[in-house]
Amino acid sequence: MPHINLPKEYPGIRSLFMFRPETAAPLNHLVQTLLHNPHPSLSAGERELIATYVSGLNTCKYCCSIHGAIAQHQLGNNAELVKQVLDNPDTAPISSKLKTLLKIAAKVQSGGKNVTKADIDLARNEGATDIEIHDAVLTSAAFCMYNRYVDGLATWQPDDAALYDKMGEQRAREGYFTPPFKVTEQLVNNDR
């Protein structure tokens, strides 16, 4: 049960956005900018993989599942790739540059000061730009916030892969600004 009285029709961060629209606005704007809006060089799928990977490190089931589903839909419905990145980015079939950005993201997750010049040089040697390094750091930092927000208030985090897939498909297509659907309603409509 959530630690505070949240709307019951929405899981995870959606219930928090409904509870407090004033803070939802900048939180949504930030995730839309980092993950969905056009980026000079990183695809939406690559950026969603960073968000998914960091959420996995923080063991936030809701964020890891939903961003994993969004990443999957951004990457040609490739669920296997998302799984491989979560298991071990070093052996996953992704670019060497993205591997170095995920390494930086993991360092940030464990503490900002853990990022070393060697980590940055490694990313640069694989062709990472300053904007890409900046965005990898901020995306990882931002998910250290979103994950704590979602877990710290003990939001409802369903175990339902089909539900995350449906939410992920919508977000991959529409971005983060469209209203979320009510989950209970969907469950009824889908005759579950």
Partner 1 sequence: MAHIKLLNEELPGIVGLLNYRPETGKPLTDLAEILLRGPSSLSSGEREIIAASVSYWNGCHFCHTSHAAAAAAHLKSGLSLIDDIKAGLPQTPVSDKLRALLHIAHQVQRNGKNVTDEDIIEAHEFGATDIEIHDTVLIAAAFCMYNRYVDGLGTWAPGPNEAYAEMGERMAHVGYGKF
Specify the stretch interacting with partner 1 by CB under 8 A; choose among 64-72, 75-83, 137-145, 167-175: 137-145
DSSP state of 180: P
Of 63 and 82, nearer to partner 1 (C-beta) is 63
Instruction: Single out the residue of 130, 161, 174, 189 in contact with partner 1 (rule: CB under 8 A).
Output: 130
Using the minimum distance from each CB to partner 1, give the nearer residue, 150 or 183.
Answer: 150
Interface with partner 1, residue 85, by CB under 8 A: no
Query: What are the residues whose beta carbons fall under 8 Å from the beta carbon of 30, sequence distance 6 or more?
Result: 142
Q: What is the rounded CA–CA span in Å between residue 135 and residue 41?
A: 11
- The answer to whether residue 146 forms part of the interface with partner 1 (CB under 8 A) is yes
4 in contact with partner 1 (CB under 8 A): yes
**Helix, strand or coil, per DSSP, at residue 141:** helix
* Residue 162 found at the interface with partner 1 (CB under 8 A): no
Contact characters 23-52, partner 1, x per CB under 8 A: x-xxx-xx--xx--x---------------
Q: Which stretch binds partner 1 (CB under 8 A): 53-61, 64-72, 91-99, 172-180?
A: 53-61
**Contacting partner 1 (CB under 8 A), which of 8, 77, 96, 134?**
134
In DSSP notation, 67-133 reads HHHHHHHHTTS-HHHHHHHHH-GGGSSS-HHHHHHHHHHHHHHH-GGG--HHHHHHHHHTT--HHHH
Of 116, 139, 167, 120, the closest CA to residue 44 belongs to 139
> Are the C-beta atoms of residues 46 and 145 closer than 8 Å to each other?
no
State the minimum distance, in angstroms, from the CB of residue 152 to partner 1: 4
